[in-house]
Amino acid sequence: MSNQSCQDQFILLGFSDRPRLEQILFVFVLIFYLVALMGNIIITLVSCLDPCLHTPMYFFLTNLSLLDICFTTSSIPQLLFNLGGPDKTISYTGCAIQLFVFLGLGTAECILLAAMAYDRFTAICKPLHYSVIMHPQLCWTLVSVAWGIGLINTLVMSPVVMQLPRCGRCRVKHFLCELPALIKIACVDTVAVESTVFILSVILVLVPLSLILTSYSYIALAVLRIKSAAGRRKAFNTCGSHLTVVSLFYGNIIYIYMQPGNNSSQDQGKFLTLFYSLVTPMLNPAIYTLRNKDVKGALKRLVSRKQSDSDFS
């Protein structure tokens, strides 16, 4: 077979070697996907509609929720389609779009989480100057940088990977068109491409992560200097949600993308990718809502406002 045969479609093998698991996964993936969409849509609407949440922290949280909606939608509907029947194919164009969106949004989330850490650092370590430092222009700039770096990264890497010769190898051992999986089916030496991916991963993952850890080092020192137990508890609760999200997201990203030669096992790679592309976006709204009195209060106000409007109508 020639490489031309892969210009029409790819076959996403996914979990096809385990038919019984596919049936179970379909149910769970569908439920988790709907919950992820609903939770992130609620967070977005509440943050936009409630004036009390028009602050830098919730501006970043709204962007994270929008990003998670797009991120999970870039791969999960195709996974549900493949799990629901014998057809495991995806068009060449669909595969290119999926890679482009998935890679770009994943990169943007790395940068956005670093921006959120800086916001928390400013709020706790420089509370008197918070409103001056975190002005709307800076917030928009940080968000634009996150989305912009994601766009640049995917504009650079996606065409390179999609144009690799495959000599008829169209069977992707994954449930989505992901960077490592597409590189593995190339029929040429991919050391240069893998090295580039590794170097970019170090820059785009470790640099933001280092900024996050540095921010939280200063935050921890500031919190320890707070005399009241209530003040320390409030500060830890404020940062705890973000730290939990960072741990869930970065742990999987580092394991999958930052191994030279991509030595992780295929099964581990598939399940970890499923975790950070579906479970993490589903958990994010719950993490921020359950540990956040402001969001709970905003939800109650919106519900009571709707009930009042219905009573008058």
CATH of the domain at 129: 1.20.1070.10
Taking the C-alpha atoms of residue 274 and residue 72, their distance in angstroms, rounded to an integer, is 9
Taking the C-alpha atoms of residue 219 and residue 214, their distance in angstroms, rounded to an integer, is 9
- pLDDT tens, position by position, 99-128: 999 999 999 999 999 999 999 999 888 988
Residue 313 lies in a domain: no
Q: Which residues pair with 265 in a beta bridge?
A: none
Contact 248, 278 (CB under 8 A): no
Answer left, alpha or beta for residue 232, where phi above 0 means left and psi between -120 and 50 means alpha. Answer: alpha
Residue 299 lies in a domain: yes
Residue 30 lies in a domain: yes
pLDDT for res 1: 38
- pLDDT tens, position by position, 216-241: 899 888 888 877 777 777 777 767 77
- pLDDT tens, position by position, 132-143: 999 999 999 999
Write out the residue range of the structural domain in which residue 107 sits: 3-303
Residue 279 lies in a domain: yes
Residue 153 lies in a domain: yes
Q: How far apart are the first and last CA of the chain?
A: 68
Taking the C-alpha atoms of residue 136 and residue 212, their distance in angstroms, rounded to an integer, is 21
Give, for 171, the enclosing helix (H) or strand (E). Answer: strand 171-172
Residue 309 lies in a domain: no
Residue 214 lies in a domain: yes
Domain count, the chain: 1
pLDDT for res 257: 67
Residue 199 lies in a domain: yes
